[in-house]
Amino acid sequence: MNPLLLAGITGLAFLGGFIGSMMSGGSLVVFFILTLLGLPVKTAVGTLKMVIAGLTLVSSLEYLRAGVLEVRFASALIASACTGALIGSSVLLTVPDKVAGLIVAVFLLMGSYFTLRGKGTEKPVLSGLLSQITVGFALGFYIAILGEASTLVTITALGLFFRLDILRANATAKLLIFFTNLIAFTGYARGGSVEFTLGLLLLVPVALGSWLGARTAVRIGGRALKAIFLSLVIATFIGLLGTLP
């Protein structure tokens, strides 16, 4: 590979890990790299799942070290999300793309209000193990079938239903997305649709960026994260509106 191209790809991968760990958007950067290198779409997606699993694992461990990831709360969500992802990945999407985009846009607006307003001290709308299992299953199913703005949707769901502050919601989202991407990656790997050499090459700068992004998110705190979250929601919402008639 040309040294200049390698340097550019490494820099982009680091950036993808950084922004993906801090909030969202890392998958778009990594997918751009994979398609730039000419991988078939299916192989690009399979390799993307491998890299994003690495990104979210590193950021989850850093959030855990910083004490903002509540593993006990996340465990029921993750277990049911994995089940939802397994079922969702085997079900054909019947909702038209335009309708799905509208649903996501409305949910983002509604959930964002509570995510941005909340301080993590309000009484949760839902509580108990059954609620965690239900929400986790729905998120896993959604990620497997649609996947649009999955980090933002997960954060808004955790803020809306469980009143998690944005830093803890982001940390929990990263761990949940790690497991759902890991499941998807194993499926693509069994089908021979993963470019392992390239994936491992990207994992190093992505992991470094992810580590730094998580540390930065913890350091800047909830107020700055809310500003980043709001800007991403607005950009996503505008993009979704563009798909509507």
Longest pairwise C-alpha distance within the chain: 56
Given this model, what pLDDT does residue 56 score?
93
Residue 206 exposed, middle or buried by CB count within 10 Å (0-12, 13-18, 19+): buried
The number of beta carbons lying within 10 Å of the beta carbon of residue 201 is: 17
Q: Across all residues in the chain, what is the average pLDDT?
A: 82
pLDDT beyond 80 at 144? no
* The model's pTM: 0.79
Given this model, what pLDDT does residue 243 score?
58
Given this model, what pLDDT does residue 118 score?
54
Which residue carries 């497997």 as its tokens? 144
203, two tokens:
């994992």
Given this model, what pLDDT does residue 123 score?
62
- Give the domain extent around 228: 3-241
Is 54 within 8 Å of 47 (Cβ atoms)? no
Instruction: List the single range of 8-17, 88-97, 105-114, 180-189 with lowest mean pLDDT.
Output: 88-97
Residue 94 exposed, middle or buried by CB count within 10 Å (0-12, 13-18, 19+): exposed
Overall average pLDDT of the 111-115 stretch? 59
Closest CA to 81 of 175, 208, 212: 175
pLDDT beyond 90 at 124? no
Alpha helices in the chain (DSSP H): 3-22, 26-36, 41-65, 71-88, 97-117, 129-145, 150-162, 166-190, 196-241
Overall average pLDDT of the 90-119 stretch? 60
For 194-232, write each residue's pLDDT tens digit.
999 999 999 999 999 999 999 999 998 877 888 887 787
44, two tokens:
């690009």
d(CA 72, CA 55): 22
**Chain mean position to CA 41:** 20
The number of beta carbons lying within 10 Å of the beta carbon of residue 208 is: 16
Q: How many domains does the chain have?
A: 1
Given this model, what pLDDT does residue 92 score?
46
Which residue carries 């969500």 as its tokens? 77
Residue 41 exposed, middle or buried by CB count within 10 Å (0-12, 13-18, 19+): exposed
Given this model, what pLDDT does residue 17 score?
92
Instruction: List the single range of 58-62, 144-148, 238-242 with lowest mean pLDDT.
Output: 144-148
Residues in Cβ contact with 210 at an 8 Å cutoff, skipping those fewer than 6 apart: 17, 18, 20, 21, 26, 54, 55, 56, 58, 59, 62
Read off the pLDDT band of 241 (50, 70, 90).
Answer: low
Q: Which amino acid is at 13?
A: A
Overall average pLDDT of the 136-151 stretch? 75
159, two tokens:
């803020």
Overall average pLDDT of the 110-137 stretch? 70
